[in-house]
Structure 1
């Protein structure tokens, strides 16, 4: 039995299909991993008096100054016992947990030093040292000469009075106490409910017990939890037994779990709660949904239970590998920083990502639950069974799961056609980031990713959404069947490709950004260039390919599909793409390629004519593509802004969700740039003309808005219609939402359909005053059973136009009794999205940066969203200088996982300033003219 299978460099991802890469071979080999169950080797150790440890000053350039572990020790098993104290210490007022750990490891290279990760743990001393070392081989273990905690690099350091010998095995025993804080990382507690839970990814297992906390350091784990009576303990493995014990006069329970499979520390989970559950089984795998008792009693876990089994079976077929564990537990956590976490056998979710209640949940909530479950279950194989060696290749893990989540959700809900939504949810989303000069490649150099903050920064749109987009492109030009076969290590080397898969994919993986493909239908010229939102931005990141890509082009001529082309150089000529006067060319059909497309003026004009005369000749995804490409090409000064605005003229006739959503996403930029200027009025007048037919269309379809449409996408587009109609001041729409909201206030009976609640609440609160805000706040406070409804209300409260209410709301974000910690940064961003609240939120963040950073900054996945969110409207020189001053003033505090986002915000602000200066007059003239046109 080996030490586990690992993904090394991203270049290995695709050679597999041609028989030269590593990824699929690894996946196929992993199917034969050992399923042997281990025995519990828990050791009873004598405890001495506990003292607070001291931290020795850091000598320079020593092994413990480096963030990466040396390769001389390899863990084999951990035996960890933890006792979370769910009531505060009467003396200190702190919540704590007690723990002991035995780790067996092999020495693979002689050494006189043990480095093991540890963060925020205090250790019991044994003969003045912080650990005990024993041998489990024929040689004697050396004594520990000195031991200390290294704070910066987060190590327990043990200097030995002798040498650990290569090929021999040793055992390290520790006892410790940690704070069971409410910081949402490591082993932490809920602020309100009775629960202790975990979030280890990426580097917080070391806050729970000393461990070799790197993904390649896989081991087996034996977990034992001591917990209060009336609570249930969960971990990755199945519980073997729960017994009653008495400890220091306290009657407690002790739950022992089966040994886990060999896995990384970041996938470990253990939870103590007073939750209830529902469950079933499929082909011998036990499936359980855990949540607060009130949520289970209300049936909120049923949808997740119904879909988990089918999605699990879908991925078994997709990977051609049986789910490797005897159970799949999924649990809804009230305070949870991530959206969900793929802990092997015990997946944790935000409540809004797992619990569905037909009375409160919209169809978008339902879709979110299905896709997130699919994402996390995809990780059970890709990420958990087969694991990245180091975080620099996180994109392989998260990009793959972000791609196949659409496949899993589509299998669970085939009528939704959810696979199309990757264009809006991932491709368009990540284009905005990857078009910046401060973007980064999918695969980073291993030596560039060292600190916990640098690791956390990788959990961004590039790793998730660009990873998914590039894999979707790969799947398309290989075909999904061949791509899927590749995951089973099949040889498909007879593919007709212009180069090896390694060489093709390296151009997308090892350099940042993406190309814009320009097609001249008069000459047949096809060329590429690096697309930058600000063409004057200086790109300092070197590229191994000089920002040139090998590009698959799927295209059509006048509605008829043509043979695909490959662009392998900066510029080529294709006779096939020459168009006659009556022909038009459309490239990147269904937007399967990760690139934008530009055309000669004549072809642009033809495409606009088709949109106006018979828009359905163009596939709906490509109608969205034309809108999104045009607006972004205009921002990059490749085409004029007026030409981009002309693509919206046909929207009066558009009824499909995806093109409308693409249009609204791009028009949001115009709101951000102009909702404080004289452009705003004519823009509103134009857009209300465009949306009124859509509003009327859904009014007729739904019997005067008394119900919702049947189709999944139509339900989404009804929300678009009402949202934009009310936003642009359509009186009928505003009266409608105010009537619904007032009826709720008068009768205390909410008859607003869950699909429409977010937009109705927001628009009613925006149009109202203190009375409406206070009513919504009272509903938010008293709603303790349905997290999805709380989320809708929390967002809507940010929509008020009253500055004093928004300032009060900002203050609430610092009080977890008012706004949960998991929602604090999102709430600040929501307030900043309101034109009235933007400056208030920016002042608030600047004034309280030290506190906000200490509470949410270090390892928060959402922290970059905060930095981006409060600065996205910046478009003046004054705001740019404020932003630069903010960076300088807080350099000593730091920006943690928001560091890159701050640089991107500065770059984006510079681009916005230039764009507004160059376009404001033309945009004002265009909206004025079109608003007044008949």
Structure 2
């Protein structure tokens, strides 16, 4: 699975504690295979089904447990040496208790159940959506939503063959994980008999029903198609080209052929995540899978390749070998993210995807005391979703660090051995650690456990005495925070140089302090060679200044990007002042690589979000304009033929900052004109600037423009255009228009998955943020019904203004009363309170420093 936007005890204890809770199926029976028959009509609101599960009763019992939510049981019986009609009690824990008046003795049985259920309308389970007024059916079963579609042992350790039979109107096309064996037409209904799957967990079962269009994919060892809603198949060519390339690269890496009988890829108009790795029937948000090459940016193309690689990597890691329990979901997703980065860089080096450093996106979150380790005990879906985005990025960064430490060849050997040993089975993190350790003859387990089973990360301090350097570690914490001491086993790589000489020294730092003797006395030191470490570092002022003087010539682009992130984090830690940070960032705005300049501008803009208040509000526009001036002068505000995509991306940042933060009227006028051109024909506008122009035009737009945005949103068949219009509507600036957009978000035109995209711009600006927050309070019930259930616990983050203690208290008062109905709120409020308090402390500590800098 890929999140969009998207675990700390020993293995044995984590699993046993998870299986000792009321949300887990009691171990009374074990399935060996399951047949599911469904009658599905997208035009209706409900469906019916029948299932037969071959199972073994493990001990004498009056009942067995399965999972279930929302369906109603009309018949249930167990057949074997003894037969029994069963009653069904649906529990609040997501389980169903099927009970018999007599004891069911141990042995092999068949459980038969007839049931009915509504189609879900919140993007989970077996759900219905409308596209251009036409109904379609899709599934999203991860984490625990197969239980909404049919009775099932809905836990990853129950890995069995499934066989689906689906009856649907003859006018509809029907797809599942496997090829169709035969069809049977009966009047206006057709029954589709699908082949049996290999053993898979229930969360990988999938189906789709609707009047789809198909595009055959050639060049793969198995059949495959891209499937789209009507009128969109012309946008599938780019995915069609990439599927065979990605699949071959993965087969070559793993040394195991793709094991499923087909590979269909479905473009889904309503989808809560980025994509889902269902065996043989992979689903994607349509704006990821479908690409209009006439208007596609490099980042859109990279996203297409990367997410395809992520989902196909899962076909081996996750599908062929599956976690035993959800406490290792982090590893599924971390591995797929790591693999996707490797494959994308291999087959499309022009994307420069090696310059995306996942650790930079999450280390600020990981440093907080309220953040849990990414491998942790799991009971509920809220536990799974808590920190899942962190798991993707931290996990993949740590895997990269370990691969860099033990070597690519040893890492690949370990992965291959692991996959062969556990094919069609379940495994856990320790099994992979062992395979990597055996392949490399290094203590991989100690390194991985120290990063995965602890939250936060080390702060590496490097001091120099001639050729000798001392390397010490401590837990990274924000200034003023008292945190328990921790130690890690850290592969540290020190890059150093003098004159034209540049070398690297490596050490496994497994205690508080270690010493290294270098080959020569360095003039400068960079404590993260290759930017592969999941740690922060600090140097004294003289060392840091020497590093800055040599950064442009001696550090790679990737290392300079990591340097910016590291320096930004030192402000949080209280090591440097805000003025010192901003001065450093300004120096990198003129970097030779536009991505470095772009990143520096982004960090500068983030300081405005933290420190802007009445004492300096009038100073920021001029500061932003002055900061952007070098990049604007060097690259211009309009595209040049043949320029690098990184330049185009930088220009979008420049124009956004000039328009939103710099209040540049010329840029605003240009945005209005360009938005009008885009609404007429998206190909008329620079694709790198389209979103920025649309957002700026909306912010300064009127009611007529809002109606044009709505109309384009409703009628376009281009998913990219649709997403851009949806996001831009969130930026309308006038209160009456913002209210109109908020009301529109609760209509049937905006799906559960759409709503999160729309929310993105609604909190921009202090007054707009206040209006948005009040709207959430006043419309809480309607909003929670319109969001995917797993997203609801995030609502407190939308009702709290940045760095605002009063806003935090109001949020806590409102949501504390609702923790019983949404337990995930407790976790969100804890995280939110720490975040706001850290922000307030930072602002109190550094506001004078910022104001002095702005008044230079």
The verdict on a shared fold, with TM-score over 0.5 as the criterion, is yes
Cα displacement (A) at 1:864: 5.4
Distance 1:198 1:894, change over 3 A: same
The gaps in structure 1 that reach 5 residues or longer are 1-7, 14-62, 89-94, 126-130, 540-545, 930-934
SS of the residue aligned with 1:441? coil
The question of whether the paired residues in 2 share the 8 Å contact of 1:109 and 1:165 is answered with yes
Name the counterpart of 2:110.
171
The question of whether the paired residues in 2 share the 8 Å contact of 1:630 and 1:643 is answered with no
Match for 1:107 among 57, 63, 76?
Answer: 57
Match for residue 685 of structure 1 among 617, 622, 625 = 622
Determine if the alignment matches structure 1 residue 86 to structure 2 residue 42.
yes
Counterpart position of 1:45? none
Q: Does 1:256 align with 2:193?
A: yes
**1:880 maps to what in 2?**
808
Shift of 1:866: 4.7
Q: Is the 8 A contact 1:118 1:149 kept in 2?
A: no
On the 8 A contact 1:236/1:345 being kept in 2, the answer is yes
2-structure distance, mates of 1:892, 1:568 = 43
- 1:552 aligned residue (491, 500, 513): 491
Write the distance in 1 (CA, Å) between the matches of 2:416 and 2:554.
38
- By how many angstroms is 1:821 displaced? 1.8
Conserved 8 A contact 2:411-2:439: no
| Count, aligned residues | 820
Are 1:148 and 2:93 an aligned pair? Answer: no
Distance 1:571 1:840 in 2: 52
User: What is the SS of the residue equivalent to 2:36?
Assistant: strand
1:852 aligns with 2:786: no
**For residue 430 of structure 1, what is the aligned residue in structure 2?**
362
Report how far residue 471 of structure 1 moved.
0.6
1:601 matched to 2:533? The reply is no
* CA displacement at 1:884 relative to structure 2: 2.2
Cα separation, 2, equivalents of 1:255 and 1:715:
49
Q: Does 1:508 align with 2:451?
A: yes
Matched, 1:517 2:454: no
The partner residue of 1:184 within 123, 130, 133 is 123
Q: Does residue 1:310 correspond to 2:245, yes or no? A: yes
Indicate which of 693, 708, 730 corresponds to 1:775: 708
Q: Following TM superposition, by how much is the alpha carbon of 1:85 offset from its aligned partner in structure 2, in angstroms?
A: 2.9
Counterpart of 1:453 (choices 350, 357, 382) is 382
Alignment-derived partner of residue 265 in structure 1: 202
- Please state whether the residue corresponding to 1:183 is helix, strand or coil: coil
Which stretch shifts more, 114-123 or 185-194?
Answer: 185-194
Structure 1 segment 382-461 matched on structure 2, within 5 A = 382-421=317-356, 423=357, 426-445=358-377, 449-457=378-386, 460-461=388-389
Query: 1:744 & 1:662 partners in 2: Cα distance?
Result: 27
Offset at residue 538 of structure 1 (A): 5.3
Pairwise CA distance, 1:815: 1.3
* Bigger shift: residues 682-691 or 215-224: 682-691
CA–CA distance in 2 between the matches of 1:336 and 1:864? 18
Cα shift readout 1:845-877 (whole Å, capped 9, x = no counterpart): 2222333234426333xx455543553x42132
Give the drift of 1:630. Answer: 1.4
Superposed, 1:316-327 pairs within 5 Å as 316-327=251-262
Change (3 A) 1:652 1:632: closer
Query: Which string of whole-angstrom CA distances, capped at 9 and with x for unpartnered residues, describes residues 764-800 of structure 1?
Result: 33344444444333332332x0111111122222223
> How far, CA to CA, are the matches of 1:510 and 1:534 in structure 2?
24
- The verdict on how the C-alpha distance between 1:794 and 1:11 changes in structure 2, with shifts beyond 3 A counting, is same
> Contact 1:524–1:575 (CA<8 Å) still a contact in 2?
yes
Deviation at 1:113, TM superposition (A): 2.2
Measured in 2, the distance between the counterparts of 1:636 and 1:790 equals 41
Q: Deviations over 1:396-447 (max 9, x none)?
A: 10010011111222233232221221x1xx21111121011111112113xx
RMSD across aligned positions (CA)? 2.7
Distance 1:848 1:730 in 2: 36
Distance (whole Å) between structure 2 residues aligned to residue 377 and residue 635 of structure 1: 38
Residue in 2 aligned with 1:810? 742
TM-score (norm 2): 0.90
In 1, the alpha carbon distance for the partners of 2:588 and 2:724 equals: 28
Which moved further from structure 2: 755-764 or 482-491? 482-491
Matched residue, 1:464: 392
Which SS does the other structure have where 1:639 is aligned? coil
C-alpha change, 1:552 and 1:770, in structure 2 (3 Å) is: same
Aligned-partner Cα distance in 2 for 1:652–1:660: 4
Which ranges of 4 or more aligned residues in structure 1 deviate by more than 6 Å? 8-13, 490-497
- What residue in structure 1 maps to residue 144 of structure 2? 203
Does the CA-based 8 Å contact 1:225-1:256 persist in structure 2?
Answer: yes
Residue in structure 2 matched with residue 37 of structure 1 by the alignment: none
Looking at structure 2, the residues matched to 917 and 675 of structure 1 have their Cα atoms a distance apart, in angstroms, of: 12
Distance 1:336 1:255 in 2: 25
* CA shift in 2, pair 1:834/1:170, >3 Å: farther
Structure 2 unaligned segments of length 5 or more: list them. Answer: 1-6, 13-18, 419-434
Is the CA contact 1:218–1:264 (under 8 Å) kept in the aligned structure 2? yes
Q: Is contact 2:8–2:373 with CA below 8 Å preserved after alignment?
A: no
Q: Say if 2:474 and 2:512, in contact at 8 Å, map to a contact too.
A: yes
Structure 1 residues 804 and 111: alpha-carbon distance in aligned structure 2, compared to 1, 3 A threshold: same
Q: Are 2:732 and 1:800 aligned?
A: yes
What's the CA shift for 1:358? 2.0
Residue 568 (structure 2) aligned to one of 612, 628, 631: 631
TM-score calculated relative to the size of structure 1: 0.83
Please report how far the alpha carbon of residue 218 of structure 1 lies from its aligned counterpart in structure 2 after TM superposition: 0.9
Partner of 1:656: 593
Cα distance, 1:502 vs. partner? Answer: 1.3
Residue 840 of structure 2 is matched in structure 1 by 913
Contact 1:577–1:585 (CA<8 Å) still a contact in 2? no
- Once residues 639 and 322 of structure 2 are traced to their aligned partners in structure 1, the CA distance between those partners, rounded to angstroms, is 50
Contact 2:727–2:760 (CA<8 Å) still a contact in 1? no
CA distance in 1, matches of 2:30, 2:348: 44
**Is contact 2:182-2:192 (8 Å) kept?**
yes
Whole-Å separation in 1 of the counterparts to 2:706 and 2:684: 18
Q: 1:577 to 1:924 in 2, by over 3 A?
A: farther
